[in-house]
Amino acid sequence: MAPASGHNMMSSAASERMVYHAMLSKLIQIAIVFPALVLTACSNTEPLQTSTGAPVAAAAVPITDQTVIAETVGRATIGSDPLAWANPSTGSAGVIEQVRPGTNNPNGCRDFVTSKQSLEGVTRFNGVACPSDGSWKINGSSGLH
């Protein structure tokens, strides 16, 4: 009986070797064929096709600091606490410190004091914002841009 079991062990080892060689052969084939496929795909000389979508809309006109401040003053309550404002179009920001009823402008205008922080530094402005066609505008030359 001993010879029979040794014989089974030999055929088992031989069987494992055959499986190993078959797998190795497949791996070699893949290693040769796969890079060739990749290189073939990379050597395409035709231009890439792109979908034709609707054209991208032009960028909106940047909002001025005057517009942001005027609208903030318009939304504020007279005598309210300080209000922060920021303009992502210019990178400027500030705080509207005071909002009072307009003293020299009877049409619902409001006097205000604001700071402005920008690349040029920090400045402070006194101004007048008035309602105009459904929005608010700064009257006169406040020094804001």
pLDDT, tens digit only, all 145 positions of the chain: 555 555 555 566 666 666 655 555 555 555 455 555 444 445 555 554 433 444 444 456 778 999 999 999 999 988 888 999 999 999 999 999 999 888 776 688 999 999 999 888 999 999 999 998 889 999 875 555 4
Cβ-Cβ contacts under 8 Å for 39 (sequence gap 6 or more): none
Q: Are 65 and 125 in contact (CB under 8 A)?
A: no
Domain boundaries, the chain: 1-42, 65-139
Q: Tell me the DSSP string of 37-56.
A: HHHHHHT--SPPP----PPP
In terms of Cα–Cα distance, which of 133, 136, 84 is closest to 109? 136
* pTM strictly above 0.75: no
| Bridge partners of residue 92, in order along the sequence | 87
What per-residue confidence (pLDDT) applies to 73? 93
Cβ-Cβ contacts under 8 Å for 81 (sequence gap 6 or more): none
What per-residue confidence (pLDDT) applies to 102? 81
Task: Give, for 100, the enclosing helix (H) or strand (E).
Answer: strand 92-101
Quote the CA–CA distance of 68 and 91 in Å, as a whole number: 12
